Amino acid sequence: MRKTFFRIALCALAVVLSVGCMSACKTPVAAENFCVHGKSIVDGCYECGTACKHGIHLDRACAECEREATYCEHGLPRVDCRICTPLEVAKINFWGWGDATESEVFTELVRKFNEEYRGVVEVVYSNKSQAEYEQTTHIALAGRSGPDVFYIGDGDAKQWITQGYASPLDDYLATSTIVDPDDIWDSALQRYRYDPLAVQSRPGDPLYALPKDIGPTVIYYNRTAMQNADVDVSEISVFEEELAAYNTANSKNYPARGFFLVNGAGNIVTVEDMNVTVASMKAAGMKRIFNNRIPMTWEETVALSKLLTRDNAYNSQAPTRWGYYTEWWFNYGWSVGGNCVKFDENDNVWKFTLGDRTQLRNPQTNQLMPSQFDAFAHFVQLSQPRTNTNIDGNGMSGLAITPPPQSDKVGRFRAGGASNGIAMLVDGRWTTAVLRRTPPAFDWDVAPLPRAATGVEAGHSGSVGLAINSKSVLKNTSWKLIEYLAGPEGQTAQSLTGFNIPNQKSIANSEVFLQSDQKPANAAIFLRAAEVQGPGDWAFLPDDSWIEYWAPTLNTTVRGGTMDLTTFFNTVQDATNVALARYQTPTLA
């Protein structure tokens, strides 16, 4: 009786256990194709660890798991969500200089950049006065408190690169999808390439900055004054490659000249002699024509300047006191293939060549050009009084068509007028911003720089670069800022100020820069200039101390008319060469 009851009790317990297991697992434990939790072995089981929580076997991809791994509950990629994956914000210190307009532009650009990278990067922009910037930044970069990103002027670039302050950018630029180096003016990019060991800047040398801008030099001219001097400034404004079509369309035979004459018989009279008189240019029936898209020759510039210089020996009725002003010799010397220094490969040293009397041939036309000495002598004679008859030590006379050196050039140009005004001023793109901000009381425009009659078009431009501190621990992040400022958005914003032209040709050739609703009307001249203009002599070597051996004497004694050029070069040549020997290229083993 008891055994029977015991068997019945065991059977009941087995039934209860079986029912409980089936209730939990849905499938009898004994089934070979199912786990103890009743899940198919083929599908996998989350409890057993063979399937994900969505019931997909681990051997197969689960779209829902992938989505959850990529995006967080806040709807953001997990790597970008600072709630799910909080990171310390990278702080970039950015130093520059500029007037109130430039400061405003860069403050807004930095604000937009910080907004785009909010929670990841914060740029702190510090706009310093230009007067203090060089010394302050130089000291900071030499220590460990300097900025991550900083302005580097083309005149400081080689010195700061030599001292190890800037980091190479070639690898960053090579992989950039924002900045295209082929779209940047080569004349701007090249000045930030440098090999400190070779003391030279050559194509292919390391790149240490991206140009944030380039500021070519041109002639700013008083259009109203020219009209008042009976110079036709409206008839023609075409580039040389457009001249044939213009002549055909208008039944003309005008030459590829910036300034020329047409006599009463309709014949072209070109200016070939600097001794041309105002009387001959104003002869009865003579027409005076200015084309602001073709460079004038030296002779044409002098002739036009005489018409615009109020002087009894020239034009006593001229609307301005001075016809012309330039403080730079670069476009004169470079137009004939000359320069103030040349690297001597044989002696492995830089040499002073401002007074070189060698005549070269134009590489495009094979015509013989004046020498560097001739070009420099002409530059000096522009401001000399006519009573000075021995400028070059060989009987060259002064022309007295420009005011004395170191004058208030922009102020005199803006003033206009016969008492102190300048009719034609050589200056950089930055003067456009000044003239727009405080417009003169006359019409004005721009034209190309003069060149030698048999020479090439040349001149100098200014530029400021954007560099990364070699000691920065945030170089990759710093590059993102430079890429933004030197890229399309940053360049477009900077162009609107009119201060300089964009570093990218595609933007410069668009209405973003040309701004046809504002002066100057002939803004395309800046683009032509940017193609051929390089940095001034202050950017040639790691510092400009070698210039101090000759420039002060030039700008005082020589241009003041008390020392001829032959004596000048005899005085400064050897001392300058000794100074240049300091930059001798190290002999590499």
For 26-40, 81-95, 535-549, which range has the lowest pLDDT when averaged over its residues? 26-40
Per-residue confidence (pLDDT) for residue 40, from 0 to 100? 83
Contact 556, 548 (CB under 8 A): no
Q: Let me know whether 508 and 570 are in one domain.
A: no
- What average pLDDT does this structure show over 370-395? 94
Contacts 24+ apart (CB under 8 A), 502-505: 502/213, 503/184, 503/185, 503/188, 503/189, 503/210, 503/211, 503/212, 503/213, 503/214, 504/180, 504/183, 504/184, 505/183, 505/184, 505/185
Residue 148 lies in a domain: yes
Mean confidence (pLDDT) of the chain: 90
Is 512 a domain residue?
yes
Q: Does the pTM exceed 0.85? A: no
Is the pLDDT assigned to residue 1 strictly greater than 50?
no
Strand partners, 200: 195
Q: What is the C-alpha separation between 424 and 290, in angstroms, rounded?
A: 13
Q: Answer yes or no: is pLDDT of 77 > 80.
A: no
Rounded to whole angstroms, the Cα distance separating 374 from 583 reads: 27
pLDDT digit string (tens) for 475-486?
Answer: 999 999 999 999
What are the beta bridge partners of residue 501? Answer: 214
81-85, 477-481, 574-578: which range is least confident on average? 81-85
CA separation for the pair 148, 403 (Å, rounded): 44
Please report the pLDDT score of residue 84 as a whole number.
60
Measured distance CA(127)–CA(99) in Å, rounded? 9
| 532: pLDDT strictly greater than 70 | yes
Residue 406 has pLDDT above 70, yes or no: no
Count of structural domains within the chain: 3
Is residue 281 assigned to a domain?
Answer: no
Are the CB atoms for 534 and 214 separated by under 8 Å?
A: no
Residue 490 and residue 512 in one domain = yes
Q: Are 562 and 536 in contact (CB under 8 A)?
A: no
Four-CA torsion 262, 265, 268, 272, nearest 10 degrees:
-80
pLDDT at 18 over 60: no
pLDDT of 7 reads 40
For residue 79, being part of any structural domain is answered with: yes
Q: Which of 70, 85, 100 is a domain's end point?
A: 85
* C-beta neighbour count of 238 within 10 angstroms: 17
DSSP alpha helices (H): ranges in 119-274? 130-142, 157-162, 170-175, 186-189, 223-228, 243-250
Specify whether 509 is located in the same domain as 578.
no
- 394 and 334 in a common domain: yes
Residues 566 and 437 in one domain: yes
User: Would you place residue 73 in the very low, low, confident or very high pLDDT band (cuts 50, 70, 90)?
Assistant: low
Residue 303 domain flag = yes
Task: State whether residue 200 is helix, strand or coil.
Answer: strand
Calpha distance 99→422 (Å, rounded):
25
Q: How confident is the model at residue 29 (pLDDT cuts 50, 70, 90)?
A: very low
pLDDT digits (tens, 9 = 90+) for 467-512: 999 999 999 999 999 999 999 999 999 888 888 899 999 999 999 9
Mapped onto helix, strand or coil, the DSSP state of residue 289 is strand
- Output the pLDDT for position 78: 60
Give CA–CA dist 333/342, Å, rounded. 13
3 state SS of 123: strand
At 328, which CATH number? Answer: 3.40.190.10
The pLDDT of residue 2 is above 50: no
- Looking at residue 4, its pLDDT comes to 41
Confidence of residue 76 (pLDDT cuts 50, 70, 90): low
pLDDT tens for 58-70 read 888 887 777 666 6
Q: Compute the C-alpha angle 329/317/273, nearest 5°.
A: 45
370 assigned to some structural domain? yes
Backbone CA torsion sign across 103, 107, 108, 109: positive
Give percent of the chain with pLDDT exceeding 70.
90
CA distance 519 to 501: 14
Asked whether 482 and 476 are in contact (CB, 8 A), the reply is: no
Q: Is the peptide bond before 520 cis (omega within 30 degrees of 0)?
A: yes
**What DSSP element (H or E) covers 144?**
none
Are 554 and 493 in a shared domain? no
Confidence at residue 585, expressed as pLDDT on a 0 to 100 scale: 59
Residue-range definition of the domain harbouring residue 99: 90-214+463-536
Could you write out the three-class secondary structure of 547-584? Answer: HHHCHHHHHHHHCCCCCCHHHHHHHHHHHHHHHHHHHC
Residue 48 has pLDDT above 90, yes or no: no
Q: Are residues 302 and 430 in the same domain?
A: yes
**Final residue of a domain: which of 64, 85, 106?**
85
Domain check: are 446 and 352 in the same one? yes
pLDDT, position 31: 52
Of 507, 492, 417, 429, the residue nearest 463 (C-alpha)? 429
Name the burial class of residue 8, with classes exposed (0-12), middle (13-18) and buried (19+) by CB atoms within 10 angstroms of its CB. Answer: exposed
Do 144 and 200 fall within a single domain? yes
Predicted pLDDT of residue 405: 82
State pLDDT tens for residues 202-221: 999 999 999 999 999 999 99
Q: Determine which of 21-35, 278-292, 547-561 has the lowest per-residue pLDDT on average.
A: 21-35
- What residues have CB less than 8 Å from 259, skipping those under 6 apart? 231, 271, 288, 289, 290, 291, 296, 300, 301, 303, 304
Establish if 279 belongs to a structural domain. no
* Same domain, residue pair 78 and 47: yes
Distance of CA 401 to the CA centre of its chain: 32
Give residue 79's pLDDT: 55
Lowest mean pLDDT among 80-94, 112-126, 446-460, 544-558: 80-94
Residue 276 forms part of a structural domain:
no
How high is the pLDDT of residue 587?
Answer: 38
What is the model's pLDDT at position 434? Answer: 92
pLDDT of residue 22: 38
Residue 254: the pLDDT is 98
| pLDDT score at 312 | 82
Give the Å distances, CA to CA, from 334 to 87, 291, 532: 55, 23, 10
Share of the chain above pLDDT 90, in %: 76
Nearest to 448 by CA among 322, 291, 336: 291
